[in-house]
């Protein structure tokens, strides 16, 4: 894959500026980067959530490609309908404009993907539609006011699982959705972040090139929900990878490949300290939670290394 900045910079901007995302939002950045790679012959479907709300307030739209928002929990099913219509109309020569190939991208936040839209996503992936599902994962229901989701990490403060005098934020680890998508045996599954632009663009290219469904989980640092300085968003994304909190990896036809292995993984404390949502974990008495977070990250990383080794026949 020959993705480079020069090539990307010449592609048309298909998500225009002037939309209403927060200052420091990495979500619109993710979508913009995806659209630079996907190009004009793309239909996009968005679940109810931050990115839908900020890009399509009637009578305005930031989308220069066809876009559909249906509801919160069904962007995968909706795009599966669009993709099926494309195949059916193409077969009969009924397409409004002839296109030999088109891209179909559904997206949702972690609420619309891990939780309420999980069934719709699983169904669409199992049915084998030629579509890419992108989850922009900001680890809570940000659009409705920072409530916990099944993507929220252990110990994070949210408005429905707040840190208080007897509870210290979320009491469970996050769901490993990427691996659940791998278990669907679809041709392409990957994780990335908006900081790693070349990795992201390459993964979108690969995902759109496969014949069948693809899933991309993109970590989306959220200045409002995670409580960090707006200017630090990309740095937070970078450190999520360097601490092994959010490894960059891809699974092509079942074969795992880790795209970036930190020479020496950073202790998670450094990453946690920059975010207000973990502030309470540094109070005396919460050392156990910090240890649990670190141990979970290390265990998951070891598992990932083994999966890669198995894929390499080791």
Strand 255-258 vs strand 132-137: parallel, antiparallel, or unpaired?
A: unpaired
The CB-of-25 to other proteins minimum distance in angstroms stands at: 16
Contact letters for other proteins, residues 126-145 (x by CB under 8 A): xx------------------
Strand 103-109 vs strand 188-192: parallel, antiparallel, or unpaired?
A: unpaired
The CB-of-134 to other proteins minimum distance in angstroms stands at: 16
d(CA 114, CA 81): 21
Cα-flanking dihedrals φ and ψ of residue 159, to 5°? Answer: -75, -20
Asked if residues 211 and 83 have their Cβ atoms less than 8 Å apart, the reply is no
Within 10 Å of residue 38's Cβ, how many Cβ atoms? 25
Query: What is the dihedral angle through the alpha carbons of 235, 238, 244, 246, rounded to the nearest 10 degrees?
Result: 100
CA 49 to chain centre: 13
258 is an interface residue for other proteins by CB under 8 A: no
The CB-of-62 to other proteins minimum distance in angstroms stands at: 9
Binding-site member from 119, 159, 295, 312 for other proteins (CB under 8 A): 119
Burial tier of 115 (Cβ tally within 10 Å: 0-12, 13-18, 19+): buried
Task: Count residues near other proteins (CB under 8 A).
Answer: 52
Contact letters for other proteins, residues 79-118 (x by CB under 8 A): xxxxxxxxxxx-xx-xxxx-x--x----------------
Cβ nearer to other proteins, comparing 69 with 157: 69
Cβ nearer to other proteins, comparing 94 with 264: 94
| 8-67 residues near other proteins, rule: CB under 8 A | 40-43, 45, 52-53, 56-61, 63-67
Tokens (6 digits) for 309: 């080794």
Cβ nearer to other proteins, comparing 63 with 141: 63
Which H helix or E strand runs over 294?
helix 287-311
Cβ nearer to other proteins, comparing 74 with 275: 74
Residues that bind other proteins (CB under 8 A): 40-43, 45, 52-53, 56-61, 63-71, 73-74, 77-89, 91-92, 94-97, 99, 102, 119-120, 122-124, 126-127
């Amino acid at each position: 894959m020959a993705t480079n900045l020069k090539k990307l910079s010449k592609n048309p901007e298909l998500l225009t500026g002037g939309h209403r995302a927060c200052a420091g939002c990495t979500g619109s950045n993710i979508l913009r980067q995806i659209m630079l790679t996907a190009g004009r012959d793309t239909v996009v479907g968005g679940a109810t959530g931050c990115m839908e709300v900020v890009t399509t307030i009637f009578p305005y739209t930031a989308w220069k490609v066809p876009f559909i928002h249906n509801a919160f929990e069904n962007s995968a099913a909706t795009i599966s309908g669009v993709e099926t219509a494309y195949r059916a109309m193409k077969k009969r020569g009924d397409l409004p404009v002839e296109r030999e190939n088109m891209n179909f991208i559904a997206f949702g936040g972690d609420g619309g993907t891990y939780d309420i839209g999980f069934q719709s996503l699983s169904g669409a992936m199992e049915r084998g539609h030629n579509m890419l599902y992108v989850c922009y994962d900001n680890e809570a229901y940000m659009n409705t006011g920072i409530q916990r989701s099944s993507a929220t990490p252990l110990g994070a403060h949210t408005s429905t699982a707040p840190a208080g005098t007897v509870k210290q934020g979320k009491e469970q680890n996050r769901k490993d959705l990427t691996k659940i998508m791998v278990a669907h045996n679809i041709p392409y599954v990957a994780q990335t972040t908006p900081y790693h632009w070349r990795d992201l663009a390459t993964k979108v290219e690969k995902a759109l090139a496969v014949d069948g469904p693809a899933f991309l989980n993109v970590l989306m640092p959220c200045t409002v929900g995670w409580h960090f300085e707006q200017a630090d968003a990309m740095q937070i994304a970078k450190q999520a990878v360097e601490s092994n909190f959010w490894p960059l990896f891809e699974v092509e036809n079942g074969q795992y490949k880790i795209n970036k292995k930190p020479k020496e993984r950073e202790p998670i404390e450094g990453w946690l300290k920059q975010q207000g949502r973990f502030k309470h974990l540094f109070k005396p008495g919460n050392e156990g939670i910090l240890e649990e977070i670190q141990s979970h990250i290390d265990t998951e990383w070891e598992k990932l290394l083994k999966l890669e080794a198995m894929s390499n026949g080791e």
